[in-house]
Amino acid sequence: MRRSKEIIFLFILLLCAMAFVLWYVIDRRAKLRAQPPAVTAPNAPMTPGK
């Protein structure tokens, strides 16, 4: 009986860890999509001697 309680506990712990990772990834992607796109300046041509 003790072994089955350990297995159930570990299974619940695994499910909690998976749920946390899934929530974190979805939340992070949502935050990245909400940000405006990064504006990049065009590269200036290189001038000789500088």
Furthest-apart CA atoms within the chain: distance in Å: 81
Say what the pLDDT of residue 1 is.
Answer: 65
| This prediction's pTM | 0.60
pLDDT tens column, 13-43 = 999 999 999 999 999 998 888 877 667 767 7
Cα–Cα distance for residue pair 29/35, rounded to 1 Å: 10
The amino acid that residue 43 corresponds to is N
Task: Place 8 in a pLDDT band, splitting at 50, 70 and 90.
Answer: very high
